[in-house]
Amino acid sequence: MTFGEADPSQRFGGGTAPSTAPGNQVTFDRRELDRILSLYGRMVAAGEWRDYAIDFLKDRAVFSVFRRSSEVPIYRIEKNPRLARRQGAYSVVSATGLIVRRGPELDRVLRAIDKSVSLVAV
């Protein structure tokens, strides 16, 4: 490297930008992602869902579920930590933007879209 040349990784923006730093993004942890992907696998096996997308944004994490990849998402499973003390950090949003369920526990929120058979004791 000669005088005046920058490191190639710095010259082309190869360094980590503040907006993409892991500390600045909301993410799903392993347990949350495992629960979501478990539901996703069952729904794929049932033939109802076919594709998904995950977005990690500054203010929330979004897991979008698609019937076909060319359509809008059927459901969005969102984690928004700013709402944790109010309505709960987790929510399920339908394709029309209607909040199907919101709450502090992911398992209870996912029950709104989980169509697995459940037994009721009498």
Instruction: Answer yes or no: is 34 within a domain.
Output: yes
DSSP the chain: --TTPPPHHHHTT-SPPGGG-GGGS----HHHHHHHHHHHHHHHHTTS--EEEEEE-SS-EEEEEESSTTS--SEEEEE-GGGTTTT-SEEEEETTS-EEEEES-HHHHHTTT---------
Instruction: Answer yes or no: is 7 within a domain.
Output: no
In this structure, what token pair is assigned to residue 20? 């993409």
Write out the chain's pLDDT in tens, 122 residues: 444 444 444 444 444 344 444 568 888 999 999 999 999 999 999 888 999 999 999 999 999 999 887 778 999 999 999 988 888 899 999 999 999 999 999 999 999 988 765 556 66
Instruction: Answer yes or no: is 6 within a domain.
Output: no
Give pLDDT, residue 70: 75
The span from the CA of 58 to the CA of 60, in Å, is 6
Sequence-separated (6 or more) residues with CB below 8 Å from residue 95: 72, 73, 74, 75
Instruction: Answer yes or no: is 43 within a domain.
Output: yes
Instruction: Answer yes or no: is 25 within a domain.
Output: yes
Give pLDDT, residue 13: 43
Instruction: Answer yes or no: is 82 within a domain.
Output: yes
Give pLDDT, residue 120: 64
Instruction: Answer yes or no: is 121 within a domain.
Output: no
Domain count, the chain: 1
Question: Containing domain of residue 40, as a range?
Answer: 21-110
